[in-house]
Structure 1
Amino acid sequence: MNHLKNTDQKKIVIFASGTGTNAENIIKFFQKSSQAAVVAVFSNKRSAKVLRKAHNHNIKALHFDRDALYNSNEVLHILQDINPDLIVLAGFMWIFPANIIKKFPDKIINIHPALLPRYGGKGMYGMKVHQKIIENKEKESGISIHYVNEKYDEGEIILQARTQVLEGDTPESLAEKIHQLEYKHFPEVIQQLLEEK
């Protein structure tokens, strides 16, 4: 942990809906950095384990509902107060609202567990993606890290990383390979984008 708060430190905000394995990996990666830090974790699910993980690392954890994100602008106002350098969607299941995208242009990124544009779009997340890839006997899969726009999984791609799909692979074994790619590349891409800003 940094004992001295660096005022030049870049601020990262994470949005997640689930267990938060990627979120925690990013938090730990930047705990070793004086350049940037995760300052808040937002979740649309009160029971999401990611909120507890944020608490465990002494990071502000915020739960919000659909109204706060889409209608009342409550989430937007909190984000404007924080003024993050980057907003990271790490397993966040709702479409991101246009008003937040407009306020933070080129500052919102997402990770998707497949090689976009294939296996993307509404309803394609987590194990559903891996099951489809196995069913279709694909020879490779991977991850796509991309900017967020107003459509699911259609923003400009920043990085793709690939892994082979072997004959004996199951959705679970493929998921594990994808997690390893996520853990390696996601924090590195975040760091690179922050250095460029």
Structure 2
Amino acid sequence: MNIAIFVSGNGSNCENIIRYFEADPDIRIALVLSNKPDAYALTRARRLHVPTAVMPKPQFGEKDKLLSLLADYEIDFIVLAGFLLYIPDFLVKAFDHRMINLHPALLPKFGGKGMYGHHVHEAVKAAGERETGMTVHWVNEQMDGGDIIAQYRTPLSPDDDVATIARKEHDLEIRYFPLTIRKVIEKL
């Protein structure tokens, strides 16, 4: 099973996933794709000898170009790990139930347009939530609207600031995202 990881930023989850599967005989991280040429995730992937590609936003919407790139790497499955572009319908259809996303909150709360990164954690804090967590879901045509595959939770204290909320949630991502990817792929 050849996986492509789509990223836009730092890539700590990307590196964690690559390391988790690096000795796996059945699952291979075949490509890390970013919409940003300066995404640190690309550096992390190259250091771990994983091929990388950059496809800026205008090109990402070009069906033939994107699907051709994925075919070149024989991609079977896509993992969105901090990828900030809207996924075009043609890609959703081509990878129906073969593309998952990580969202840094307990969907359906704090999802949708503008809800990414620190914006999510700020909204969680502002709402006075007693817990936060991460959601892994199938990607469909609706932003953060695909069926939920798994959720992991962590308690919050009223004293937790946005940085603490972000750290608690990120700890869940590092611990559970690779395990969830494995479970999903094993069921395919």
The answer to whether TM tops 0.5 is yes
TM-score, scaled to structure 1: 0.92
Q: Quote how far apart the aligned CAs of 1:195 are.
A: 1.4
Q: Which residue of 2 aligns with 1:141?
A: 132
TM-score, normalization by structure 2:
0.96
Cα drift, residue 83 of structure 1: 2.9
Aligned to 1:7: none
Inter-partner Cα distance in structure 2 for 1:72 and 1:155: 21
Partner of 2:7: 16
Partners of 2:137 and 2:146 within 8 A in 1: yes
Give unmatched runs, 5+ long, in structure 2: none
Deviation at 1:84, TM superposition (A): 2.0
Contact 1:95 1:150 in 2 (8 A): no
Task: Identify the residue that residue 186 of structure 1 maps to in structure 2.
Answer: 177
Shift of 1:86: 1.5
Give the match's secondary structure for 2:49: coil
* Structure 1 residue 152 corresponds to structure 2 residue 126: no
Provide the rounded CA distance (Å) in 2 between the counterparts of 1:34 and 1:158. 24
Could you tell me which residue of structure 2 aligns to residue 100 of structure 1? 91
State the match for 2:61 in structure 1: 70
Given that residues 63 and 90 in structure 2 are in contact (C-alpha distance below 8 angstroms), is that contact kept between their aligned partners in structure 1? no
Determine whether 1:87 maps to 2:78: yes
User: Does the residue aligned with 1:13 lie in a helix, a strand or coil?
Assistant: strand
SS at match of 1:68: helix
Could you tell me how far apart the structure 2 residues matched to 1:137 and 1:72 are? Answer: 42
Match of 1:58 among 43, 49, 54: 49
Q: Counterparts in 2 of 1:36-55, with a 5 A limit?
A: 36-55=27-46
Shift of 1:174: 0.8
- Supply the distance in 1 between the matched residues of 2:83 and 2:57 (Cα, whole angstroms): 13
Percent identity, aligned pairs only?
39
Contact 1:69 1:76 in 2 (8 A): no
Structure 2 residue matching 1:73: 3-state secondary structure? helix
Please state whether the residue corresponding to 2:124 is helix, strand or coil: helix
Superposed CA RMSD: 1.1
Mapped partners of 1:185, 1:151: distance in 2: 24
Count of residues in Structure 1 that have an aligned counterpart in Structure 2: 188
Please point out which of 174, 179, 189 is paired with 2:165: 174
